[in-house]
Amino acid sequence: MATGRVTRGRKSQDYVADFWREDFPDIRPVAASLPGEDLLETPGIWFEVKATRELNPTKALKQARTGCPEGEYPVVIARPTGYGEAKVDKWVAMMDHDEFRRLIRELFKFRTMYGTDD
């Protein structure tokens, strides 16, 4: 039988997958007990989903970095206490500062090459 902590983790992965499905149509969560990334079929992004009440950001980012293939972005999605499915858009996304800088530089390069349409 799953504990409340495990159930919260599984549901959190499902909520994050649902949130990102428009951008990654084939996204699917992985069983919380299995090693590796928490969400599959997300090219370019390595997701680590955390639903713990006592998050250690450094440890979570290290875990994401450890499995993340070269060239992808390791991202931790953290579910704050009291934030359920209805607030998944306000959960916290974290990445290392150097990776964030790389992402922003890619965005700027893209905008320079192709402009924006928003």
* pLDDT tens-digit series, residues 2-30: 677 777 788 999 999 999 999 999 999 99
Query: CA dist 41 to 20, 27, 47, 57, 71, Å?
Result: 11, 5, 10, 24, 15
Mapped onto helix, strand or coil, the DSSP state of residue 20 is: helix
Show the CA angle centred on residue 78, arms to residues 75 and 83, nearest 5°. 145
- pLDDT at res. 1: 54
> CATH classification of 4-114, choosing from 3.40.50, 3.30.1380, 3.40.1000, 3.40.1350?
3.40.1350
Average pLDDT over residues 60-65: 94
What is residue 36's DSSP assignment? Answer: S
Average pLDDT over residues 75-82: 94
Domain residue spans of the chain: 4-114
Average of per-residue pLDDT values in the chain: 90
Residue 113: is its pLDDT beyond 70? Answer: yes
Distance from C-alpha of 91 to C-alpha of 7, rounded to nearest angstrom: 18
